[in-house]
A and B are shown apart, each in its own frame.
Chain A
Amino acid sequence: MVLCIIAFFVFAVMSIFSAKYRPLAKEGLKCVFKTITFRPCDTGLDDRIKARLVSELLKFSPGAAKVLNKHFVIFSWLFVLLTFGSLAYSIYGFYNFYVYGNCDGPDSVNGCVLNDITGDYGRFSEPKDLIVPTNYDGLTEGNPNGTLKIIEFGCFTCPYTKKAEDTVQGLLQEYDGQIYYVFKPFPLPNHNNSFEAARAVLCARDQGKMWEFRKEVFKQQDVCRTDGTLAIKELAQNAQLDMDKFNKCYDNNETDAELGKYVQQGKDAHIYATPTFFVNDKPVVGPKTLDQFRCEIEKKDSLVKEIGCLLGQWWG
């Protein structure tokens, strides 16, 4: 029976620590072999597991024990599938964590995890843990008196911040006149050359060419990450910056004091992933779609819209 597949794994691990479990692991292996070749398992291990589970349950709930006893095969299949499903999912998560610094992979809505900065290993924060920043300094755009104030903490070499960029552009267009957008660079140490990129964008801002340069950086994010300064300077040229000025600013770390301020603000806000937005003080973590932002912004307008948003969130 399928259950012995799990029994085998469990006993195999246990038998590393105690010889007592080795015969059981052997029995499990035999049974697994029979099961996968579609023969009945004749070691009796499966029957013993069943008797044990049903007897234990019988002590607490005869009704539940009866159901388990009757549909034991179905339950064991479910259990095995769930176990393997979650095992595969965990392995996928570890892989993603290793490759992307995030358990959910490149399409995650959770953004780049930066436990490295906050030191919160093992403790994954939630949006409700965030503290709304108290000022609007940073790379700004739009109407400072607008009704829609959006702050973004982002990292120029974070794929999720890049992913959110289209949404940011969409918001700036759609809510033109109402929106005041503030970008606070928040370079993550686990992304190569993130500080360099942030420094460079600030230097470009000093020349009034923040958006042009920023666009280049996101477009060439991979190269930025791998080649660092070399690539960044080339991009600066592409964005037609005054290279003398740029080199001076960049090479002398002229913007680092400012950058340090934003990083501190991010830490104070308990940012745990990039990008993190505050939409009229409401935290939104991860690269959400324009639709999702619209929901955040407008959902209080009507019940129908609110339900639509909820469904959308659930679906997306």
Chain B
Amino acid sequence: MKEIKKDFPVLVNNPDIVYLDSACTSLKPMQVIEAEMEYYKKFGACAGRSSHRLGRETNQRLDECREKVAKFVNAEKDGLIWTRNATEGLNIVANGFDFSKRKKVVTSIVEHHSVLLPLIKLRDQGKIKLDVVGCDKEGNVDFSKIDRETALVVTNSWNNILGTGRKINEIAKLAHDNGALICVDGAQGVPHHKTDFKNLDFLCFSGHKMLAPTGIGALVCKTDHLAKLKPLMTGGGAVKTVELNKVVELPTQERFEAGIQHYAGIFGFASACEYLNKIGMEEVEKHEATLAKAFYEELKSAGAMIYGPDSPQNHSALYSFGFKNAKAHDIALMLDREKIAVRSGFFCAQPAMEVIGAGDGATRVSGYIYNTPEDAKRFGEILKKINVLYS
């Protein structure tokens, strides 16, 4: 793991920067950047349309990419829809799901705006009944509200505010026992924790948070659910035949992929999965557990208040924190003066921030495979100095 930094040009070009904002977006290794360039340098054609050799080769390579990314979460390649990001996947599920029989959707307050906003919109349009389950101060959510009226449960597997995870298989079982389906926001889970799609119905995640380029993500569905899902938009490549008064959509996932796709991004996405597989997700988890512990200790000894559970156990290498009477933004800016990149604000999860007691925002530190305990130490050193301002 020590040598990993060398793969990341941003870190090589800025050796004095400590990047601790991977929950927002991760850095990209050279391998991924090269894979993305490879499309433009060696392929460059349309897929699924042109029968010339470049077109055929592009098509074949994209097929392999689809398989690689699907495999990464132990899913079927035929159930994977390319999206721009997790947000698009979540919107497709919310808007394309069949609510004709059951209208109730259960979600929690500790969710990203990308989960909440599409659902709130549907609720306001009268299309669904929305039940947003609250949480305690530690962010724990009780999903027992799932009942036989529930059509869909939408929840993250790991959240981007507290760095905590959910027993997603248990929630899935509860949903299935009640005849409901589950859609998981894996934006924070998939990059950092081994994720198995086996027991889930829908899974959305973004490439850019897991070493892949921006602008590419995936929505993974069980194929029979995919068949019933309605696409958000349609157009070239999504249909079988078109007559002016009769359109036959493709039955496969291409139905959701209208227009030319982000091929270079897809190449990069597959390469990112390869990169992570090479390290091994167990290894990633182990490394992040060490980081989580290191961050925790630094935060504690700098006198910071940690939001959520006060323990590094079962924790991502992600913490939201603050100092008494300090503006979150000021802390982030002062860390930035020392070349430490963290995020501050509401992390696109304002309702959650309110309930965990960070209504004025918080500062967030988040690590990934390229971070080391030394990074945590430097972060801690500066934090201790900043603490002097507020103690």
Contact = CB atoms under 8 A, between A and B. Distances in A.
A54 B334 contact: yes
Contacts of A70: 389
B333 interface: yes
A69 B327 CA distance: 11
Interface in A24-69: 44, 47-48, 50-52, 54-56, 58, 62, 65-66, 69
A69 B333 contact: no
B378 interface: no
Nearest to A67: B389
Contacts of B327: 47
Give the most central of B336, B337, B338: most A CB within 10 Å.
Answer: B337
B388 A66 contact: yes
B127 interface: no
Give the most central of B327, B329, B389: most A CB within 10 Å.
Answer: B389
A48 B385 contact: no
A66 B333 contact: no
Interface in B318-335: 327, 329-330, 333-334
B385 A58 contact: yes
Contacts of A55: 334, 337-338
Contacts of A51: 330, 333-334, 336-337
Contacts of B330: 47, 50-51, 54, 69
Contacts of A58: 334, 385-386, 388-389
A62 B386 CA distance: 9
B333 A47 contact: yes
Contact of A66 (B329, B337, B338, B389): B389
Q: Is the interface of B mostly helix, strand, loop or mixed?
A: helix
A120 to B, nearest CB: 46
A55 B331 CA distance: 10
A62 B388 contact: yes
Interface string A285-308: 000000000000000000000000
Contact of A69 (B329, B336, B338, B389): B389
Contacts of B329: 44, 47
A26 to B, nearest CB: 20
A54 B336 contact: no
Interface residues of B, number: 13
A66 B325 CA distance: 12
Interface in B337-391: 337-338, 385-386, 388-390
Interface string A55-87: 110100010011001100000000000000000
B85 to A, nearest CB: 25
A70 B325 CA distance: 9
A47 B388 CA distance: 19
Give the most central of A50, A51, A62, A65: most B CB within 10 Å.
Answer: A51
Contacts of A65: 388-389
B86 to A, nearest CB: 26
Interface string B277-299: 00000000000000000000000
A196 B46 CA distance: 96
A52 B337 contact: yes
A47 B336 CA distance: 12
A87 B330 CA distance: 30
A62 to B, nearest CB: 5
Contact of B389 (A52, A54, A56): A54
A236 to B, nearest CB: 75
A23 B81 CA distance: 41
Nearest to A68: B389
A62 B333 contact: no
A49 to B, nearest CB: 10
Contacts of A62: 385, 388-389
A52 B330 CA distance: 10
A146 B348 CA distance: 91
A280 B337 CA distance: 63
A69 B333 CA distance: 13
Interface string B140-153: 00000000000000
A48 B330 CA distance: 8
A44 B337 CA distance: 14
A83 to B, nearest CB: 23
Interface in A131-179: none
Contacts of B337: 51-52, 55-56
A52 B390 CA distance: 16
Contacts of B333: 47-48, 50-52
Nearest to A65: B389
Contacts of B336: 51
Give the most central of A48, A56, A65, A69: most B CB within 10 Å.
Answer: A69
Nearest to B391: A66
A56 B337 CA distance: 9
Contacts of B338: 55
Nearest to A57: B389
A44 B336 CA distance: 14
A77 B359 CA distance: 28
A40 to B, nearest CB: 12
Interface string B10-31: 0000000000000000000000
A69 B329 CA distance: 13
A69 B336 CA distance: 16
A90 B135 CA distance: 61
B8 to A, nearest CB: 26
Contacts of A69: 330, 389-390
A7 to B, nearest CB: 15
A50 B333 CA distance: 9
18 contacts: A44-B329, A48-B333, A50-B330, A51-B330, A51-B333, A51-B336, A51-B337, A52-B333, A52-B337, A54-B334, A54-B389, A55-B334, A56-B337, A65-B389, A66-B389, A69-B330, A69-B389, A69-B390
Interface of B: 327, 329-330, 333-334, 336-338, 385-386, 388-390
Interface of A: 44, 47-48, 50-52, 54-56, 58, 62, 65-66, 69-70
Given A48-B333, A62-B389, 8 more contacts: A47-B327, A51-B333, A52-B337, A55-B337, A58-B334, A62-B385, A65-B389, A66-B388
Q: Which 9 A-B pairs have the closest CB atoms?
A: A51-B333, A55-B337, A69-B389, A62-B388, A51-B334, A66-B389, A55-B334, A47-B329, A47-B333
